Structure 1
Amino acid sequence: MNIHRNLYLNAILIVLAAVAVTACTGGNGAPRMAGAATVTAMDVLSKEVESLDSYPATVVPVNEVELRPQLSGYITEIFVKDGETVKKGQKLYEIDRTKYIASYHQAKANVSTAEANLAKIEQDVKRYEALREQDAIAAQKVDYAKADLQTAKAQVDAAKAQLSSSTNDLQYSTIKAPFAGTIGIHQVRVGAQVSPGQPLLNTLSSDDPVAVDFVINEKEIPRFNRLKREEQPDSLFTMALSDGSKYPYSGKVIAIDRAVGRQTGTLTIRLSFPNPEKDLIPGMTVDVKVLNQDHGKQIAIPYKAVVEQMGEYFVYVVQDGKAHQVRIQLGSIVGGDIVVRDGLKGGEKLIVNGIQKLREGSAVEVVSNN
């Protein structure tokens, strides 16, 4: 009876001893420091990073003009279809030219008449001046002839001015494209009556290249001023379309607005993008992607390893079995990682999990490496 009891007690002691050993080794057979926090860690390494700043942007034409009539009359011809691509100088609309052609010919005839009258008076003046030298004509008659000469010259100038006006009217009766681009949907049809400035006939926009506008915070102005002055690599400005696809051509800075908005504190930046396939249409919303300083070979760590304290950022690294706090300067977020611009050099053992209860100098045990 006593023998069985002793055997039972010995078995219990063996089990308790095994539990104690397990508790002291952490379950993997290695001794664990008393009071040490269990953490996981990783080696800090540099890796290639594509870090982009994204800005919502709008496609705008480099050149755009509203086509409006400058004369009164009826639309007699529309030479292009809705949405057609046109060349510079191509005919677009024609206003009834009948009266403008008549006015042009009348003005041209008036110039001829005035010039003929001027030539006659010039001959009279020459003849009268020759007779005056011989005292064969009264001086007053010569003076009258010279006055008529001045009047005739003024009449020629007036006739030529009228001819110029009539010529312009005749030219304005045919509305042509001031530059190459794409025309919109016609706002009038043949037979519509128009007057100077009214109504809007159509809008013409240039389409290759196009501009893309976005706004930046005033703190970013020095950066974009440098980008404009320096040579811009092809990959500096890229763009994503509204469906998420990447636009195949890169852009360049062509303009920075003259002033920061007083209420918004922002400044407009204008890029130029090639548009040979006409994929970009004015008014489209896109995302401009700009490479930032964190692009290339960088130290990037999991964002969850970062601790914020009173506006400053820290991480914990393992040295001699203890956690040591290191202040860092953060850069861009790339996926689940964040770039560290200063504070880590690479090669450190960074604590990733188990940082919630750590303090400077806390004893730690690394149970696994990521």
Structure 2
Amino acid sequence: MKYYTAALSVLILVSCGKKDAQQAAQQGPPPVNVTLQEVTTMDAAYYDEYPASVTALNQVELRPQVTGFITSIHFQDGAKVQKGQLLYSIDAQLYSANYEQAVANLNVQEANVVKAQKDADRYHELDKNDAVAKQLVDNADAALEVAKRQADAAKANITAVSTNVRYTKVFAPFNGTIGISMVKPGAAVSAGQTVLNTVSSDGQLAVDFNVDQKEIFRFTNLLKSSKSKDSTFTLAFGTDIYPYPGKITLLDRAVDPQTGTIKARLVFPNNDNVLRSGMTGSVRVLNNSSAKSVVIPYKAVTEQLGEFFAYVAGDSSKVSQRRLVLGKAIGNNIIVKEGLKEGEKIAVEGVQNLREGATINTQPAPVAAGAPAAK
């Protein structure tokens, strides 16, 4: 009898446990304790940053225009040079000899012209008295014309060889800085092939960066309104900010179809010779939009598979997951470009325990340090 009584008690307990479990399942998981914060807008001044590279506005590789041997170098590596300054000398003996030979040939051809002119004049005088055959007169005129053409060719040859003599001297094409010489005295160089050095302008340098095609309208307006002393564009190298602002000078001809970006160019003064061609840094573009921005604490944002979300409280004490398009981070906050509106309430504490449609139990927001306690 005792055995049956004990078994009956166990059945009653199991039945009660199942009922409790069913009721708990029907009621769902317990509410999640969260802290809500109202979404607000504010004037958010910040910088958009773009990877950038520094390049010279004018840069050229120096190559010889004649073949020969370097006889002299007339500068110090890395020095500033002026337009027209002599930089390299190439052995000119062969080219000078060719020039002298060309001059001598011209003298011969000019003498032939004088002789042919005299012969033609003599035959024409004889022809007036019918004292010479007409064919001889024509031959004399033809010989004069040939002599003149040969003289013209000799003059053209002098121009060519004198040009080669000039090309044995390599001059700076513009004001700038010259690099380390690629050749030494005595080195053999080939016309149009050997790189002697590189000269680049340094008074102002260009900074190139790519912007998304969606921003073409914005940068076109910046290009129209750009001022020489505007602080809209600055340049950063890590934590160091270049002290002089830049000026936007152009947008490239077309959008790159592979990347969907267009190249923009800024020009920065290089008064202290700090900027060097080939440097990389970040262009900082001041975003001074007149529209107010939605700003929320960054801790309210969750990330899933590369997308960003926030939990928005509804009227029934439940939250829904809202996809966000984020902008620039400002301290512990971040700008939300799309996804939230002013006045909505989002979870800022307890976010890690939330799921879509979760029931919430709101907690009072923590009092900021130094702020008066609520009464």
TM-score (structure 1 length as normaliser): 0.74
Separation in structure 2 between the aligned mates of residue 131 and residue 222 of structure 1, nearest angstrom = 88
Given candidates 332, 349, 356, the residue that maps to 1:353 is: 349
Deviation digits for residues 118-163 of structure 1 (CA, Å, limit 9, x no counterpart): 2443354345335434423321111111211221122112111211
Gaps of 5+ in 2: 1-29, 369-375
Change (3 A) 1:72 1:351: closer
1:245 is matched with 241
- For the residue of structure 1 that corresponds to 2:153, the secondary structure is helix
Question: What count of residue pairs does the alignment treat as equivalent?
Answer: 331
Match of 2:224 among 227, 231, 241: 231
Structure 1 counterpart of 2:334: 338
Identity %: 39
CA RMSD of aligned residues (A): 3.6
> For residues 217 and 142 of structure 2, what CA distance do their matches in structure 1 show?
66
1:336 alignment partner AA: N
Could you say what secondary structure the match of 1:155 adopts? helix
Q: Give, as a single letter, the amino acid of the residue that structure 1 aligns with 2:224.
A: E
How far apart are 1:326 and its partner, in Å?
Answer: 8.6
**2:362 aligned residue (353, 356, 364):** 364
Tell me: CA distance 1:46–1:285, structure 2 relative to 1, closer, same or farther (3 Å). same
- Alignment correspondent of 1:88: 83
Residue identity in the other structure for 1:170: V
The structure 2 residue matched to 1:117, chosen from 112, 116, 124, is 112
Change (3 A) 1:330 1:243: closer
Offset, 1:66: 2.0
How far does residue 271 in structure 1 lie from its aligned partner after superposition?
Answer: 3.7
Contact 1:39 1:351 in 2 (8 A): yes
**Structure 1 residue aligned with 2:300:** 305
1:204 to 199, 206, 229: 199
1:161 pairs with 2:153: no
Distance 2:233 2:361 in 1: 48
- Residue 231 of structure 1 aligns to a residue whose secondary structure is helix
Match for 2:127: what amino acid? R
Cα deviations by residue, 1:265-323 (Å, 9 ceiling, x for unpaired): 7665444333232211122221222345868742211122245789674443587x956
- 2:176 alignment counterpart: 181
Distance 1:95-1:343 versus aligned 2 partners, 3 A rule: closer
CA positional deviation for 1:61:
2.1
Query: Which residue of structure 1 aligns with residue 284 of structure 2?
Result: 289
CA contact (8 A) 1:209 1:274 kept: yes
- List, as ranges, runs of 4+ consecutive aligned residues in structure 1 with deviation greater than 6 Å: 293-296
**Cα distance 1:347–1:289, how it changes in 2: closer, same or farther (>3 A)?**
same
Alpha-carbon distance in 2 for matches of 1:369, 1:322: 23
Deviates most, 275-284 or 353-362? 353-362
SS at match of 2:109: helix
Distance 1:115 1:242, change over 3 A: farther
Normalised to the residue count of structure 2, the TM-score between the two structures is 0.73
